[in-house]
Structure 1
Amino acid sequence: MSRKTPATVAIERAGLAYEAFSYEYDPDAPQIGLHAAESLSVPPATVLKTLMALVDGRPVCVVVASDREVSMKRLAAAAGGKSAQMMKPADAERLTGFRVGGISPFGQRKAVPVFLDDAALAHERVYVNGGQRGLQVRLAPQALIDALRAKATSLT
Structure 2
Amino acid sequence: MTTEHEASTPAIEAARAAGITHTVTRHGRVRSLEEAAAARGIEPRDLIKTLVVRVSEGEHVFVLMPGDRTFSWAKVRALLGTNRISMPDAEEAREVTGYERGTITPFGSRSRLPVIADTHLCGRTISIGGGAHGVGLTVAGDDVIREFDARVADISDAETLPR
- TM-score, normalized by the shorter chain, greater than 0.5: yes
Match of 1:14 among 14, 18, 24: 18
Shift of 1:3: 4.3
With 55-64 and 42-51 compared, the bigger mean Cα shift is at: 55-64
The answer for the alignment partner of 1:48 in structure 2 is 48
Structure 1 length-normalised TM:
0.90
With 127-136 and 81-90 compared, the bigger mean Cα shift is at: 81-90
Structure 2: stretches of 5+ with no match in the other structure: 157-163
Shift of 1:38: 1.7
SS at 1:86 equivalent: coil
Shift of 1:82: 2.5
Structure with higher Rg: it is 2
Q: Equivalences for 1:1-156 in 2 at 5 Å?
A: 2-26=6-30, 29=31, 31=32, 33-57=33-57, 58-123=59-124, 125-156=125-156
Structure 1: stretches of 5+ with no match in the other structure: none
Does the C-alpha gap of structure 1 residues 3 and 81 become closer, same or farther in structure 2, counting only changes over 3 Å? farther
With 52-61 and 146-155 compared, the bigger mean Cα shift is at: 52-61
Contact 1:121 1:141 in 2 (8 A): yes
Q: CA RMSD in A?
A: 1.6
Contact 2:106 2:112 in 1 (8 A): no
| Runs (4+) off by over 4 Å | none
Structure 2 length-normalised TM:
0.86
